[in-house]
Chains A and B, each alone.
Chain A
Amino acid sequence: MTELLTLTPLEKEALKLSLWISIWAVIAILPPGVFIAWLLARKKFIGKTLLDGLTHLPLVLPPVVIGYLLLVLLGRKGIIGGWLYENLGISFIFNWKGAAVASAVVAFPLLVRAIRLSIEQVDEGLEAAARTLGAGPLRVFFTVTIPLIMPGIITGVILAFARSLSEFGATITFVSNIPGQTRTLPLALYTLTQVPDGEAGAFRLCVISVVVAFVALILSEFSSRYVFNKVRG
């Protein structure tokens, strides 16, 4: 019985890797996500429709296409990847950082959408009031806007995190399926379905995935309720 409940080294590795990659993906996209959400919600500028479209593109493109595009752009011979490798020694190929990039790209639109919606709901009159009380634009942003959109930020982070955890197509296309580097829970599950006698293992990974998703959902529900009460008073 205890054997059933203990994770095998391979399962542990896949679970840790999944969480690690998703956490980094979300951390990396949070600041630019808030900024772009703010731009799209508040500013009028030339190319806004283009930016809006580019932001949402990963939502409608097949993940495999995204993985392929990342390979072309960020590969060691790619336009951006080549420069990064030669000048900064950064490579995304076949390692967890590449997997985090793939997750970040597919999760980005979900994050931006949630935050943008909440920024649109902020009463700009409150920000104007803060200005008349002596606060500069940056202070207003951090002391009024950010606290008021906190529920939206949390929703966005949870959605992005969940999307990262379930990322498959872009990851396997961009950084392949390498144990300990890019073999996250979904990739490990897929691998087990491809080998003889893998079914039992695949089922266990399936259960782990469900449990992780469920815990994340419950945590998000509690935290967003807590923050919502804080903000609405």
Chain B
Amino acid sequence: MLEVKVLKKLGAFTIDVAFSSGDSGITAIFGPSGAGKTSIINMVAGLLKPDQGQIYLDDEPLFDSKKGINVPPNKRRLGYIFQDGRLFPHLTVKSNLMYGMKLIRKQDRKLNFDQVVTLLDLETLLYRRPAKLSGGEKQRVAIGRALLTSPSLLLMDEPLSSLDGRLKAEILPFVSRMQKESMIPVLYVSHSTDEILSIADRVIVVQSGKVVFTGGLDIAMVKERPEFFPPFGSNNGLVYR
């Protein structure tokens, strides 16, 4: 379980949030653009240092300002899937996938290479360069690359926002299946009601740097709380714009 309580000032904008994720399943961090969602998971990943607070994962401190603990990102054992994929352009798909895996001791690897390649349907892409991949293929490789580091938690920052509707529909099943088969809990940042309704189990709604709602996620609840979830089902599938 991930427990977060952090304060961070970014210019005139303040992020002041406290939340915990579930032990399993997909927890969505939901809110409009500019609400501070990406900054929050960057703090969880160790890419952005909170001014004060604590971040604990399975009762192990990742960050604790009182105890002076700030575990560097490479020691946090988290998988991070970025909005823009961030595949290494100088490496083949296969080398991208193995980049993090090679740094993990064999006995600590929870998933093996072939398993992940099959799960994400990557066989035919292995010897290509990222520049030759479509947006959807890139994101599948990025997911595989993060999974292969056997993380205790996967962070996904709007992984579908750079893809069009058809590609979104192509990737979402992979995300659900990946989560169910790997059993790795996921923190999923999104501003699309459709997207989180189709995959998330729980939601943390963030607005202007504050958590305004936390709870389980289903259609009835979403319809009841239009102040947090603008009407979904619009043509582009994106509601918060």
Nearest A-chain residue to B48, judged by Cβ: A128
Residues of A in contact with B, size category: 20 to 34
Does B67 interact with chain A (Cβ within 8 Å)?
Answer: no
Does A80 interact with chain B (Cβ within 8 Å)?
Answer: no
Contact with A along B71-99 (1 / 0, CB 8 A): 01111111110101010111000000001
Chain B: residues with Cβ within 8 Å of the partner, total of 29
Does A126 interact with chain B (Cβ within 8 Å)?
Answer: yes
Pair B89/A129 contact, Cβ less than 8 Å: no
State in angstroms the CA–CA spacing of A136 and B86 once bound together. 17
Pair B82/A125 contact, Cβ less than 8 Å: yes
Does B167 interact with chain A (Cβ within 8 Å)?
Answer: no
Pair A132/B47 contact, Cβ less than 8 Å: yes
B74, B77, B84 interface centre (most CB from chain A within 10 Å): B74
Contact with B along A137-156 (1 / 0, CB 8 A): 00100011001100000000
Pair A233/B99 contact, Cβ less than 8 Å: no
Pair B99/A133 contact, Cβ less than 8 Å: yes
Partner-contacting stretch, out of B5-13, B126-134, B173-181: B126-134
* Given A232-B131, A233-B131, residue A131 in contact with residue B47 (CB < 8 A): yes
Pair B82/A129 contact, Cβ less than 8 Å: yes
- Smallest beta-carbon distance B87→chain A, Å: 8
Does B62 interact with chain A (Cβ within 8 Å)?
Answer: no
Chain B residues with Cβ under 8 A from A129's Cβ?
Answer: 80, 82, 86, 88
State in angstroms the CA–CA spacing of A20 and B33 once bound together. 59
Does A48 interact with chain B (Cβ within 8 Å)?
Answer: no
User: In the complex, which of the residues A123, A126, A131, A231 contacts B74, with contact meaning CB atoms closer than 8 Å?
Assistant: A131
State in angstroms the CA–CA spacing of A102 and B9 once bound together. 50
Nearest A-chain residue to B92, judged by Cβ: A233
Which residues, 215 to 233 on A, are CB-close (under 8 Å) to B? Answer: 230-233
Chain B residues with Cβ under 8 A from A232's Cβ?
Answer: 89-90, 131
Pair A134/B104 contact, Cβ less than 8 Å: yes
Chain A residues with Cβ under 8 A from B132's Cβ?
Answer: 233
State in angstroms the CA–CA spacing of A126 and B88 once bound together. 7
Does A135 interact with chain B (Cβ within 8 Å)?
Answer: yes
Chain B residues with Cβ under 8 A from A231's Cβ?
Answer: 89-90
Pair B47/A128 contact, Cβ less than 8 Å: yes
State in angstroms the CA–CA spacing of A135 and B72 once bound together. 10
Does B140 interact with chain A (Cβ within 8 Å)?
Answer: no
User: In the complex, which of the residues A133, A135, A147, A233 contacts B145, with contact meaning CB atoms closer than 8 Å?
Assistant: A133
User: In the complex, which of the residues B72, B77, B89, B146 contacts A136, with contact meaning CB atoms closer than 8 Å?
Assistant: B72
Pair A132/B131 contact, Cβ less than 8 Å: no
Chain B residues with Cβ under 8 A from A139's Cβ?
Answer: 103
Chain B residues with Cβ under 8 A from A132's Cβ?
Answer: 45-47, 73-74, 76, 78-80, 146
Could you list 19 A-B pairs, sorted by A, with CB under 8 Å? A125-B84, A126-B88, A131-B72, A131-B74, A132-B45, A132-B74, A132-B78, A132-B80, A133-B100, A133-B103, A133-B145, A134-B103, A135-B100, A135-B103, A148-B89, A231-B89, A232-B131, A233-B90, A233-B129
Q: A residues touching B (Cβ–Cβ < 8 Å)?
A: 123, 125-126, 128-136, 139, 143-144, 147-148, 230-233
Extra contacts besides A136-B72, A232-B90 (8): CB < 8 Å: A132-B46, A133-B74, A133-B145, A134-B75, A134-B77, A134-B103, A134-B149, A135-B99
Pairs of residues from A and B, 8 with the lowest C-beta to C-beta distance, nearest first: A233-B129, A133-B100, A132-B80, A129-B86, A134-B103, A131-B73, A233-B131, A147-B90
